[in-house]
Structure 1
Amino acid sequence: MPDTVDALIRAQAKLGDKPFVIDTSSRMSYAELDSVTSSLADGFVGAGIGKGTRVGLIMPNSVRWVQLALALTRVGAVLVPLSTLLTARELAAQLRTASVQYLIAVEEFRGHRYLDDLPELPALRQVWRADELPTGAGQIGDLTDTVVPADPMVVMFTSGSSGPPKGVVHSHASALGAVRSGLRARCIDAETRLYLPMPFFWVGGFGSGILSALIAGATLVTEQIPEPEATLRLLEREKVTLFRGWPDQAEALARRAAGADLSALRPGSLDALLPADQRAEPGARAKLFGMTESFGPYCGYPADTDMPRSAWGSCGKPFDGMEVRIADVDSGKPLPPGAVGMIALRGPHTLRGMCRRSREDLFTVDGFYPTGDLGHLDDDGFLFYHGRSDDMFKVSGATVYPSEVAAALREIEGVRAAFVTGVDGRVGAAVVCDGYTSEELRAEARARLSAFKVPTVWLLLGSEDDIARGATGKVDVRRLRELLGGQA
């Protein structure tokens, strides 16, 4: 199998006029992908970009994003996708951390103006607006031949619930290998027409969207700002077979779907949009689990297939190319099946490094990457997630895992989202729901949780938008704690 982006694009060019990426205003075939990215890459080389050059890209989802990103990686440049949610200060910090030398940016998106207050940065040589890029004749063959699978391909920023974002480095081989290992679990093949609105600057958009479609020979359908009515028309018009948007988005669409023809959707899509007889029982299907450091999911189970009953509620099994070890949080010693500890990863699909961090800082002496996530493996090798090691807290001496409490709250009919954290030694929950009082939610929680896990501090919200998130989209736990603290 091709192990560089250039080799992959050349191999898939045989698909000719088959659509590769479709957005709301344009589309690109596999043949056009080859020719357009070749021309763009030639222009980049002429402007001074070469193997190892770090190039930042900040723009919303579009066919153009795909063209620019893949053109850069074809010639061995290192792509640095940047969040459209960044403030000017955050953008400058990430450009500095990744030592970005060239920056391609839209001027404005959703009220963010990225270039107005950009300071001088030591490594930054040139800034291009997305509509003023150099192009060439597409003569890049000799240069692409120098790119090898071990070369760095991308620096993707991620952050936990607190702390500055981390620039995670992946090679062509680690990224493409990670995507290949999860295609079956994500039900993506050459016949798939995949709807995925996740931003391309996250690994969920770049890996699970763009690269998944490219490797499988599938068609990717995306949009910049999903709105229910427009999204339904898009799904209908493009005959989308696999919906992998957000769960709350799927539920909102389902409420408006009367009259829309979604008959092309197949199992593996989010349940809310499927006919009742195709939906799984709660917990029967794996929750694909991964992180930027593993270039997306490293654990799962075919999304259209029930797991064995004993594994319900798990994340499935580790994919080929990923070894999972559960270790004691304090000592780092391996733990037996059933014991909860920190999840550590090892294998060819893990990160190759991190900006401004040494390998000794990141990995154990035997090559495992401690993820900071808590979990346990059962006797059959299924992984169960228990939250973040820095999020767990004690109530009257007993350990509470926020993810366990949140999962139980989401089982309550009418609860669309739940966020849990510790508040001064008590369990706090911010819940997005309709028609419940906190007393009614507490009664429902008592039926599902041990007494010490039942939230005593409640905040009822009308929308997930009321929950603060960082630039990488993760919940800001510190601000969640402050929000709930005001209810105590």
Structure 2
Amino acid sequence: MTIPALLAVRRRLDGTVQAFVSDDEEITYAGLDDASRALAGRLVAAGVTKGSRVGLVMPNGIGWATAALAVMRVGAVLVPLSTLLRPSELLAQLRVAAVTHLVVVPRLRGRDYLDELASVAPRLTRQVRHGSAHPDLPSLRWLRTSDELPAGAAPAAVVEALGRAVRPADDLVVLFTSGSRGTPKGVLHTHGGGLRAVASSLDSRRIGRGERLYIPMPFFWTGGFGGGLLSALVAGATLLTEAVPEPARTLRFLERERVTLFRGWPDQAARLAAHPAFAATDLSALRPASLGAVLPPATRPAPGARANLFGMTETFGPYCGSRLDTDLPADRHGSCGQPFTGVEVRIADPETGTALPPGTEGEIRLRGPNVMRGIVGRHRADVFDADGFYPTADRGLLDADGYLWYRGRLDDMVKVRGATVYPMEVEAVLRALPGVTDAYVTDIAAADVGAGAAATDADAGTGAGTGAGPGAGGTREIAAVVVARLLDDPDGPDELDELAGQARARLSSFKIPTRWLFVRDPHRVPRLASGKVDIQALRRLLAEEGTPVSRKLRSE
């Protein structure tokens, strides 16, 4: 389908049903159709047409949803832009995506995006508003705040004709993504490919018609856009979201709106469960496919029992999984489930691209109609291999029954005293320990953990290894930031050594972090504008604030 066709279906089937509820406002599917059609008329009158690339800088809310649907229903290409971007980052993404029209919120949390853009591209606003191209953004033809859109509108017949002209193969969106060490790239999805990808995961995510789905993720990320907004639209569900989630307010929101599915960030769910008001909050409407931390203790799944929905921006969200209200077979705990219809998964030799047999680790490569059309500015031959598969740089294996097991990133391997360590493996063990709600593991230079770390190599009798991981230079050590809410004194040496000892019972000695940092607030974990962990900042945090475990635990 296409966005305009899908809006027509939702109006016909669910016109009086709530489409979105956001903080203190709500709108039905009929109201959303009317509002987006009216705004589309104003955009068309301002020069937006099929193929235009329209950037959107706005917070979560009905206004964002209305503007995005208005853009897409006339065949223009939506470019969601993060409200977290710094001016130079925003300028770079506008340039990469070749944005032709830009709509920004007037002010947000003390920021004025037009002034900020002017600070890195002088006279941008003045030149563009007077019809002149700016050398830093030659494609940009139009720039307005969300309350400056022209009042005049194109005739309704024109808007409807543009909607009828949209085809499933037409571009829908440019979504920006980046790895924790990579530069952002603009991923292109079509109407048919994106909506097909969303539909393929609905059953596993248990999102159906009439569901009340809470998603806190920003709409400018794939999780909020595909996993939230478009999932509700495809399924006929009601989407509930907040511009700025805050535990006490969120709990009241969940109770008042009788939310049935809570999806999003596990650390947010953990914060809600730890809040003093949680026990008195009526969350009885929540169904088993919700995140476990907010469910009654007796109904929470065991760690690893439910599939780790696995996906990426390049696949418009999850491409592998299993029903989130049902445990996997015991011997499949910890897996990502099986690939969804529309995605073919191949495990290949990362150097040659040769397909590897079941049970063999290699690079995960993807092909199929759910996969992106391409990356902005890159030739198809530079994005896909000779067989049309997309090399993800993720490491994993497919077992004999087609279950995918994720093993980390190809570029995340670290050499410690000559042995190979994958941070993801260590993270999985730490997250399963009592009192731990999340963990983030990386490598840092041995010099950063003090003289005691150097003694470890000598005590172990292995000699110093050469760092082979990202940022490696000399001997590397493993370090961890642990989000722990149950420890009585997370900064105390006894608790630290106790947790390290528990990890030692589950991991080889060379995989045990030599430096730890305990935090109660997951917001202390540094992140990029994409939402992914900022590895370089994480390393600095660990070097500056981390506590070494005792020499005995490191060397015995």
TM-score band, normalised by shorter chain: over 0.9
Corresponding residue for residue 77 of structure 1: 76
What are the within-5 Å matches in structure 2 for residues 349-428 of structure 1? Answer: 349-424=370-445, 425-428=476-479
329-338 or 9-18, larger mean C-alpha shift: 329-338
**Which of these residues, 240, 256, 260, is aligned with residue 281 of structure 2?**
260
Residue-by-residue CA offset, 1:202-255 (whole Å, 9 max, x unaligned):
000000100000011000000011111111111111110001132122122223
Corresponding residue for residue 134 of structure 2: none
Alignment partner of 1:303 is 2:303:
no
Corresponding residue for residue 526 of structure 2: 468
Corresponding residue for residue 101 of structure 2: 102
Q: Is the 8 A contact 2:106 2:147 kept in 1?
A: no
- What number of residue pairs does the alignment pair up? 486
Residue-by-residue CA offset, 1:146-194 (whole Å, 9 max, x unaligned):
1100000000000001132111000001100000000011110012100
In 1: Cα distance, 2:116 partner to 2:518 partner: 38
In 2: Cα distance, 1:286 partner to 1:392 partner: 24
Matched residue SS, 1:115: helix
In 2: Cα distance, 1:407 partner to 1:111 partner: 38
Q: CA deviation at 1:287?
A: 1.1
Q: CA deviation at 1:465?
A: 2.1
In 2: Cα distance, 1:112 partner to 1:438 partner: 40
Matched residue SS, 1:168: strand
109-118 or 19-28, larger mean C-alpha shift: 109-118
Q: CA deviation at 1:395?
A: 2.1
**Which of these residues, 186, 189, 193, is aligned with residue 167 of structure 1?**
186
**Which of these residues, 138, 145, 157, is aligned with residue 156 of structure 2?**
138
What amino acid sits opposite 2:478 in the alignment? V
Corresponding residue for residue 199 of structure 1: 218
Matched residue SS, 2:50: coil
Matched residue SS, 1:344: strand
Q: Is the 8 A contact 1:87 1:112 kept in 2?
A: no
Q: CA deviation at 1:37?
A: 1.0
Alignment partner of 1:225 is 2:244:
yes
Matched residue SS, 1:315: coil
Corresponding residue for residue 552 of structure 2: none
In 2: Cα distance, 1:365 partner to 1:134 partner: 48
Q: Is the 8 A contact 2:19 2:237 kept in 1?
A: yes
Residue-by-residue CA offset, 1:338-396 (whole Å, 9 max, x unaligned):
22211111000111011111111100011000111111111111111111111111223
Residue-by-residue CA offset, 1:413-433 (whole Å, 9 max, x unaligned):
111221111223222111122
Corresponding residue for residue 344 of structure 1: 365
Matched residue SS, 2:442: strand
TM-score, normalising length from structure 1? Answer: 0.97
In 2: Cα distance, 1:250 partner to 1:460 partner: 19
Q: CA deviation at 1:468?
A: 1.8
Q: CA deviation at 1:258?
A: 2.2
Matched residue SS, 1:185: helix
Q: CA deviation at 1:484?
A: 2.9
What amino acid sits opposite 2:24 in the alignment? S
Structure 1: unaligned runs, 5 residues or longer: none
**Which of these residues, 125, 129, 149, is aligned with residue 145 of structure 2?**
129
Corresponding residue for residue 205 of structure 2: 186
Residue-by-residue CA offset, 1:299-338 (whole Å, 9 max, x unaligned):
1100001111111001111100001111122332222222
429-438 or 446-455, larger mean C-alpha shift: 429-438
Q: Is the 8 A contact 2:503 2:512 kept in 1?
A: yes
What amino acid sits opposite 1:429 in the alignment? A
Matched residue SS, 2:425: helix
In 2: Cα distance, 1:276 partner to 1:469 partner: 30
Corresponding residue for residue 63 of structure 1: 62
Corresponding residue for residue 481 of structure 1: 539
In 2: Cα distance, 1:467 partner to 1:331 partner: 37
Q: 1:56 to 1:480 in 2, by over 3 A?
A: same
What amino acid sits opposite 2:204 in the alignment? A
Alignment partner of 1:455 is 2:513:
yes
Corresponding residue for residue 470 of structure 2: none
TM-score, normalising length from structure 2? Answer: 0.85
Q: CA deviation at 1:131?
A: 1.5
What are the within-5 Å matches in structure 2 for residues 420-439 of structure 1? Answer: 420-424=441-445, 425-433=476-484, 434=487, 435-436=489-490, 437-439=495-497
Matched residue SS, 1:116: helix
CA RMSD between the two structures: 1.4
Q: CA deviation at 1:259?
A: 1.9
What amino acid sits opposite 1:484 in the alignment? L
In 1: Cα distance, 2:91 partner to 2:30 partner: 36
Q: CA deviation at 1:466?
A: 2.1
In 2: Cα distance, 1:259 partner to 1:466 partner: 28
What amino acid sits opposite 2:177 in the alignment? T
What amino acid sits opposite 1:129 in the alignment? T
Matched residue SS, 1:443: helix
Q: Is the 8 A contact 1:60 1:224 kept in 2?
A: yes
In 1: Cα distance, 2:348 partner to 2:483 partner: 34
Q: CA deviation at 1:450?
A: 2.1
In 2: Cα distance, 1:99 partner to 1:157 partner: 13
Structure 2: unaligned runs, 5 residues or longer: 125-136, 446-475, 549-556
In 2: Cα distance, 1:274 partner to 1:443 partner: 30
Matched residue SS, 1:109: coil
Q: Is the 8 A contact 1:84 1:112 kept in 2?
A: no
Corresponding residue for residue 90 of structure 2: 91
What amino acid sits opposite 2:345 in the alignment? V
105-114 or 44-53, larger mean C-alpha shift: 105-114
